[in-house]
Structure 1
């Protein structure tokens, strides 16, 4: 009886395993920057949506709505009055920092949707820096990447 054994040698198996580990480690290292970018985009998108909500709420309810950032606590609040529950309370990553610019980190949307002050503030993340600018007049704003 003759045995016909076909298979891989130890050297061939180790070579395939080494190639697999190299490819998988490259994939793991390329995922981390994507996660940072997604975290930035998610934060900016959520902040824009919350600011639009605050503006629309002030128009529809004919009340002033306040937006307040806490620099050191990594959160922001949107509320109508201090004695009422907050409309929005968001916490964000400690990798994201919000700094006042020509606009302080405390402003209001008036009952007609205009903003109480105009100017800009800065958001700094691990990889990028953004500036949110509020225009004089209608309470419009835009986000630019610096």
Structure 2
């Protein structure tokens, strides 16, 4: 009886793995870029929700200041003397507040010190505008 050939040779398996590795090497940088872009977008959405959160808390509490304070690698939501949340920036993202590092509202829901904040990401940069006499801020891609 002749021997049966039911399997692959070692050379065939290595050749198939080499082709697979080339395909993975070509497409993985694209996925990493998309993942980093999604992290930046998610961070901006979270920052927007946090600003709305401190605005609603400022309307509820007249005696206690609720604010967002920006640091070099994170921002914090501070209520009175307590830090409620710490939000780290995604890798490669930085924020320039042009002076004062806090954002807070008065009891009417308007910004105490209107300003522009710049967010510099790996792929895109954004301008956050906190206008005078308004309670809503705007995010624009630069």
Q: Under TM normalisation by the shorter chain, which class is it?
A: 0.7 to 0.9
* 8 A contact 1:66–1:106 mirrored in 2: yes
The answer for unaligned runs of 5 or more in structure 1 is: none
Q: Residues 9 and 75 from structure 1, CA distance in 2 versus in 1: closer, same or farther, beyond 3 angstroms? A: closer
> Aligned partners of 2:2 and 2:123: how far apart in 1?
65
| Structure 1 stretches of 4+ moved >6 Å | none
> Aligned partners of 1:69 and 1:128: how far apart in 2?
19
1:78-125: CA deviation from partner (whole Å, max 9, x where unpaired): 3233xx312333222352111124x73223211111101222110111
Give matches, 1:1-146, under 5 Å: 1-63=1-63, 64-70=65-71, 72=72, 74-81=73-80, 84-101=81-98, 104-146=100-142
Task: Identify which range, 117-126 or 103-112, moves more after superposition.
Answer: 103-112
* 8 A contact 2:54–2:104 mirrored in 1: no
* 8 A contact 1:62–1:112 mirrored in 2: no
Deviation at 1:40, TM superposition (A): 0.5
Name the Cα RMSD after superposition: 2.2
Q: What is the aligned length?
A: 141
SS state at 1:87 partner: strand
> Aligned partners of 2:77 and 2:7: how far apart in 1?
67
The answer for unaligned runs of 5 or more in structure 2 is: none
Task: Identify which range, 2-11 or 34-43, moves more after superposition.
Answer: 2-11
SS state at 1:122 partner: strand
